[in-house]
A and B are shown apart, each in its own frame.
Chain A
Amino acid sequence: MFLAPRRLCSFGSSAKFLKTIYPSNILGLPTSAKMSLKLKNARRIEGLDSNMWVEFTKLAADPSVVNLGQGLPDISPPIHVKEELSKVAAIDGMNQYTRGFGHPSLVTALSCLYEKFYPNKINPNKEILVTVGAYGSLFSAIQGLIDEGDEVIIIMPFFDCYEPMVRMVGATPVFIPLRSKPVDGKKWSSSDWTLDPQELASKFSSKTKAIIVNTPHNPMGKVYTKEELQVIADLCIKYDTLCISDEVYEWLVYTGNKHFKIATFPGMWERTITIGSAGKTFSVTGWKLGWSIGPSYLIKHLQTVQQNTIYTCATPLQEALAQAFWIDIKRMDDPECYFNSLPKELEVKRDRMVRLLESVGLRPIVPDGGYFIIADVSLLDADLSEMNNNEPYDYKFVKWMTKNKKLSAIPVSAFCNSEAKLQFEKFVRFCFIKKDSTLDAAEEIFKAWKNQKS
């Protein structure tokens, strides 16, 4: 059913070798021009060099700017997590290589935790891979399972790395947008944004290798319902495709919502890679640890990628993460458990952000999960005439807002492919996993903004 990509199989002589001759004396080129012929990039990264984070994090680096852009917490990680890392840092024996596919105590903890949510047992050695962040899991999954010429369905807006990672393996991304129902008078919610089932079905073909699902969703904060995931699952089964399920925000689900794991649906374990993140689970994005969970015959290909890319992740961080997990696994029904306390804390911040954004006439979409909120900024009708005309509206707006209001955010069209930028260019993303003083500073900015308008 799922063959490993040719790239991992091309150890034989099946590759065609082009006999292009560059004899320097015949071409008679000077050395510097001759250098540029060969010292160039491999084709796989052609066109993938730009990255909006580099541009926008630079803009927000000005210390006078209140940074609600990049998705990193400025709150402290929980005490028990910091303590475990301090303890591990004092142990001599934790400074050398550990098991390549995941430090034993960590994969055991992950298996124990996630078995609570799956009908099947999870083999820690064969069905789990620990990676360099969820980013690394996405990379390993795409490199390990997707081949040149395959199609991969990506739902817009999408976490921006999905598209370049798919292109890097020579596959074709096939996009489908979330679309909003009309919501006159009602508070706009991320649940109002859905996939049209017929439109989704039309995106599947015999070339479709996988669909990438992100729930809770970045940037929208949508938490897919059971029914919505069932539609996706039915199509995956019908077309025999893989599902790469990015669930990094799985614990950040607000009142009235529930996180569903598509891999637990009938017929889905065998075709799903589920990705998680320590950074998002424990507010430690700088630890860069993530994991992939799935059936052994899929995970083994991710493991092959791992052994030919980074080989193993950092030992002390994995050990500390394992210990932190054990603490919270033991108290999962307790409000003190971080998996329960963080979403409670963030729901308050979410509600505050909704009020702040509405107070200046921005129209937020209330997220059901995650730690981002997007808002329609077009009603403000800000004067963006001094900004670069070649850019989408939201890029101009964010740059204008950073410069003039000292508040940064991220344009949502950055999470869309080039053709669909117009669909989402009125929206801007704000991150709210920020300490109260940061949100207070944002509140001051919004108040002053509002007063300026009236």
Chain B
Amino acid sequence: MGLVMTLTQSSRLGLEAGCSVFLEQGLCLPYPALKASRSPGWDGLLPTLCLSLRVEFIKLASENETVNLGQGFPDFAPPDFAMEAFQHAVSGDFMLNQYTKAFGYPPLTKVLADFFGKLLGQEMEPLKNVLVTVGAYGALFTAFQALVDEGDEVIIIEPYFDCYEPMTLMAGGRPVFVPLKPSPSQDGELDYSSNWQLDPTELANKFTSRTKALVLNTPSNPLGKVFSKAELELVASLCQQHDVVCISDEVYQWLVFDGNQHISIASLPGMWERTLTIGSAGKTFSATGWKVGWVLGPDQLMKHLRTVHQNSIFHCPTQAQAAVAWSFEREQQHFGQPSSYFVQLLQATQHKRDHVTRSLQSVGLRPVIPQGSYFLITDISDFKSKMPNLPGAEDEAYDRRFVKWMIKNKPSSAL
């Protein structure tokens, strides 16, 4: 069992005034009990647990003096150039207060097409291959609604960002899970996220004639795994063999440590035509509250996402898109250089990863060292053998009890 911690805390420990704002602003309410009573069989569902888990822990963290390493957003500001871009967007041309083009503010779709076209090795047109969405979350929703039908199967790799499952279910689809498994490590040996792998045979067996899509998340949340080329080639060959769409959630693509390389599966042979690549301004520029995301893909798939988009929210807010466009234009000029924000954020986050890893090890916890993202998970089974009976409900999992105990007794929180 494991515990997820986020690495976006600034390196000073202790609760800052900025933190408490986010502790108070709880996430959504759990699926209400009244609903469960109308629909027997709801209880005990993972998404319900995950969401109510977050709500419960956010509340606990706010009631106790804690250092919140649970929720996944930075407690530092976006870079100056991004803040300035947003300030410019809101105080410049007043027409930016009005609707922009439905599928994306033109300078943003243009820079995304240019920037990612180069990275993916693909000629991309802003109107055909790019859709701007309300965060990567909105991109995921749009993709599921556009393509997943009742009875379709969607392969989801565990552990997974919790929304993949309810989004599959909301589209009438059936989630099919396949776990990443760690190779056993010797005592004293460090565990790395690269150690956690898919079993190729097990993965292949998950594909059926009903498989419509596979959701890939690299770098992954919560494990921090960065899929290698070989691993992606395996996934790619199965997607092609079974004619499956790959929904590739790459929101943490710039946070890849130790010289590892992020590879977009869409850049592999035969994959562009069947892949939707999802990105996030929130994760890219440490501005999660702007809620700007995007999907990149072939027109034959993107046109269906455009249909969902025009019948769900139609437009995304203009000014945040303008700020993201300017921020990307700035990064284009500094790409690969020490002055690039992507380079600087990566270095700072890797440093934090190492700091948190050492802290966890010093108290006898066993972190799984992530190759990417800003999360890490840690094995608490040694604690379970020493303190098996932590307070909690009868059927409550150990890791939940551990986190609550930790919040109350040790001033830090996680998930």
Contacts and interface: CB of A to CB of B under 8 A. Distances in A.
Contacts of B303: 49
A65 B41 CA distance: 58
Contacts of A202: none
Interface string B267-292: 00000011000000010001111110
Contacts of A22: 209, 243
A12 B118 CA distance: 44
Contact of A161 (B147, B166, B314, B319): B314
Contacts of B149: 42-44
Interface in B135-166: 135, 137-138, 141, 145-152, 163, 166
Contacts of A161: 311, 314
Interface in A1-47: 3-4, 7-12, 15-24, 34-35, 37-45
A313 B148 contact: no
Contacts of B291: 310, 312-315
B28 A307 contact: yes
B228 interface: no
A92 B363 CA distance: 33
A301 B102 CA distance: 26
Contacts of B22: 96-97
B148 A42 contact: yes
A111 interface: no
Of A4, A86, A289, chain B has the most CB atoms within 10 Å of the CB of A4
B325 interface: no
Contacts of A135: 312-315
A308 interface: yes
Interface residues of A, number: 93
A307 B138 contact: no
Given A101-B29, A288-B315, A82 B97 contact: yes
A17 B172 contact: no
Given A20-B209, A73-B98, A92-B18, A308 B288 contact: no
Of A57, A74, A135, A301, chain B has the most CB atoms within 10 Å of the CB of A135
Of A15, A95, A301, A315, chain B has the most CB atoms within 10 Å of the CB of A95
A309 B98 contact: no
Interface residues of B, number: 95
A285 interface: yes
Contact of A95 (B171, B172, B212, B289): B289
A136 B145 contact: no
B91 interface: yes
A311 B171 CA distance: 16
Interface stretch (B30-38, B335-343, B380-388): B30-38
A317 B311 contact: no
Given A4-B38, A89-B90, A165 B311 contact: yes
B87 A300 contact: no
Contacts of A168: 311
A303 B29 contact: yes
Interface in A74-92: 74, 76-77, 82, 85-86, 89-90, 92
Interface string B215-250: 000000000000000000000000000011100000
A165 B29 CA distance: 25
Contacts of B311: 45, 48, 139, 161, 164-165, 168
Nearest to A99: B25
A303 B87 CA distance: 31
Contacts of A165: 311-312
Given A89-B83, A286-B318, A308-B163, A314 B97 contact: no
B78 interface: yes
Nearest to B91: A86
A232 interface: no
Of B102, B152, B210, chain A has the most CB atoms within 10 Å of the CB of B210
B3 interface: no
A307 B51 contact: yes
A93 B314 contact: no
A104 B274 contact: no
A283 interface: yes
Given A76-B94, A82-B90, A139-B313, A42 B304 contact: yes
Of A18, A85, A96, A289, chain B has the most CB atoms within 10 Å of the CB of A96
A85 B96 CA distance: 12
Contacts of A3: 38
A103 B138 CA distance: 18
A133 interface: yes
Given A9-B38, A42-B148, A285-B99, A82 B243 contact: no
Contacts of A284: 97-98
A371 to B, nearest CB: 13
Of B73, B152, B243, B316, chain A has the most CB atoms within 10 Å of the CB of B243
A85 B41 contact: no
30 contacts: A4-B38, A8-B170, A9-B35, A12-B42, A16-B151, A19-B209, A24-B243, A39-B301, A41-B304, A48-B307, A53-B102, A85-B91, A86-B90, A95-B83, A95-B86, A95-B290, A97-B25, A135-B313, A135-B315, A136-B312, A161-B311, A286-B97, A286-B315, A287-B318, A297-B34, A301-B35, A307-B28, A308-B163, A314-B320, A315-B291
The 5 closest A-B pairs by CB, nearest first: A315-B289, A286-B318, A92-B77, A100-B28, A12-B41
Given A288-B315, A311-B28, 7 more contacts: A18-B151, A44-B145, A49-B307, A93-B18, A95-B286, A97-B22, A161-B311
Interface of A: 3-4, 7-12, 15-24, 34-35, 37-45, 48-49, 51, 53-54, 57, 70, 72-74, 76-77, 82, 85-86, 89-90, 92-101, 103-104, 125, 132-133, 135-136, 139, 161, 164-165, 168, 279, 283-289, 297, 300-301, 303-304, 306-317
